[in-house]
Amino acid sequence: MQLSLKATTPDRIDFDQTSLTIVWKDGATSVFELVDLRRRCPCVVCKGGHGGKVGTTTGGIQSIQLYGINKVGRYAIHPVWSDNHQTGIYSFDSLRMLADGLGGDLMTT
């Protein structure tokens, strides 16, 4: 499914102790639980690449803090987590699809 540019372009991104909130240019608001986002990290290590198993690095995470987010061009964010993990790139397309129930897997684009 192809989402509109407004649906996948953030107007505002905020986070607190438990969640990340994105207000999209089309007026919709998506709220993501931090623990869920961290467990869904799309990086190769968390996805089981390099000979590992999916969930080995993220399965035991019970709580997490978000120290900050960096934008990656106009298409993604790069979170800095309290467990010092910072290699995942979360595309806006994938975040919007996840929020809208159109796909449960975060993928980088």
Asked if residue 109 is part of any domain, the answer here is: no
Tell me the pLDDT band of 3, cut-offs 50, 70 and 90. Answer: confident
pLDDT score of 109: 39
Domain range for 23: 10-47+62-100
User: Helix or strand or coil: residue 92?
Assistant: helix
pLDDT (tens digit per residue) in 12-68: 999 999 999 999 999 999 999 999 999 899 888 887 765 555 555 666 788 999 999
pLDDT (tens digit per residue) in 65-81: 999 999 999 999 999 99
Asked if residue 107 is part of any domain, the answer here is: no
Q: Please tell me the total count of domains within the chain.
A: 1
CATH classification of the domain holding 21 = 3.30.2020.30
Tokens for 21? Answer: 């909130």
